[in-house]
């Protein structure tokens, strides 16, 4: 049987339903889909930019609770209510990534997380964007 440890924090919205904010197994942390819900009010932020920033903040809070940080992310799945929003979301996402892992033209390949992005028919509570991530726990 696989050893699975739930990860939870009050700094991100609680999981609603039959899932965890994140699960750690071995050296990996799997963060469930996070939207732009405010952890205090439970309400979605207004607009695409605010939802995207809150979503990333929620992901980071959960990663921190698991002993990780954004630079430890190895895989992301980005879901959008409308594919036309991809460029705007990606610009915010790129500024959220730590400088050491962002792409720099002319400097070769960097360690950006693998990512899949797609539009969906709908997201929970009418969210405009949702992100799930897999991170590697840093070794001491």
pLDDT tens-digit profile of 84-137? 999 999 999 999 988 756 555 555 556 789 999 999 999 999 999 999 999 999
State the pLDDT confidence band at 23, using cuts at 50, 70 and 90.
very high
CATH, residue 91: 3.30.1330.40
Residues of the domain holding 67: 5-136
Domain count of the chain? 1
Other Cβ atoms within 10 Å of 72 Cβ, number: 21
Predicted pLDDT at 4: 96
Q: Say if residue 45's pLDDT is above 80.
A: yes
Mean pLDDT of 59-85: 97
Predicted pLDDT at 17: 85
Between the CA of residue 15 and those of 62, 88, 101, 106, 110, what are the distances in Å? 11, 27, 29, 42, 33
Enter the pTM of the model: 0.92
135 pairs with which residues across the strands? 29, 73
**SS3 letters across 73-140:** EEEEEEEECCHHHHHHHHHHHHHHCCHHHCCCCCCCCCCCCEEEEEECCCCHHHCCEEEEEEEECCCC
- What value does the mean pLDDT of the chain take? 92
């Amino acid at each position: 049987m696989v050893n699975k440890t739930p990860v939870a924090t009050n700094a991100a919205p609680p999981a609603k339903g039959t899932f965890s904010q994140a699960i750690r197994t071995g050296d990996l942390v799997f963060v469930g889909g996070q939207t732009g819900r405010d952890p205090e009010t439970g309400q979605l932020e207004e607009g695409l930019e605010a939802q995207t920033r809150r979503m990333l903040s929620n992901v980071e809070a959960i990663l921190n609770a698991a002993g990780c940080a954004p630079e430890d992310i190895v895989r992301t799945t980005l879901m959008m209510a409308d594919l036309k929003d991809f460029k705007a979301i990606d610009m915010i996402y790129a500024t959220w990534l730590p400088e050491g892992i962002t792409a720099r033209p002319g400097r070769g390949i960097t360690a950006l997380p693998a990512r899949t992005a797609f539009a969906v028919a709908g997201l929970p509570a009418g969210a405009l964007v949702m992100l799930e991530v897999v991170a590697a726990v840093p070794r001491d």
